[in-house]
Copies of this chain bind each other. A is one copy, B any other.
Amino acid sequence: MRILGIDPGSRITGYGVIATNGHEIGFIACGTIRTGDETDFSRRLLTIFRDLNEVIRIHQPTVAAVEDIFIDRNPRSALKLGHARGAAVVAALHNNLEVHDYPARQVKQTVAGYGQAEKIQVQHMVRTLLQLSSTPSRDAADALAVAICHAHQHAYGRWGRSA
């Protein structure tokens, strides 16, 4: 099973693809889609949609895991994030991928053993779990972490007693 993890954002969307056989996980790819320079907000959504389509075409994941958005107190930011997340989810579904949502807390708990883990801890643990030679950027690491979280949910036991 190949899992596409997505960490959507209106300025930077992280993505990460991992493979799992239910016992082990392996790194396939990761990266970021940067849209912050695009002044037309709608164009950012198209870039997220198109670039994720391309990632899916190249790496052929079978399922997507998307980080659930933290509900900001500010409705305007929630609205923007909603747009970006909607574009990302549509890209996955349009390519016939199942989409699963995971709250940030659960993602952090899975990869770092602590729901309030800092971004840098997540980056470190993602690097360790996937045996990467360098540390991925924050957004790419978050996306890989969501993918790992999904793999963990569907593991056969190796991943610990809570699975």
Contacts and interface: CB of A to CB of B under 8 A. Distances in A.
Interface of A: 42-43, 45-46, 49-50, 69, 71-87, 89-91, 93-94, 99, 101
Nearest to A69: B79
A49 B83 contact: no
A46 B46 CA distance: 15
- For this chain, the copies found in one complex come to 2
Contacts of A72: 75
A46 B94 contact: yes
Contact of A78 (B46, B76, B90): B76
12 contacts: A42-B101, A45-B89, A45-B90, A46-B89, A73-B75, A79-B79, A82-B85, A83-B83, A84-B86, A85-B86, A87-B89, A90-B90
A43 B86 CA distance: 11
A46 B83 contact: no
Contacts of A94: 46, 49-50
Given A45-B90, A78-B78, A82-B85, 4 more contacts: A79-B85, A83-B89, A85-B86, A90-B90
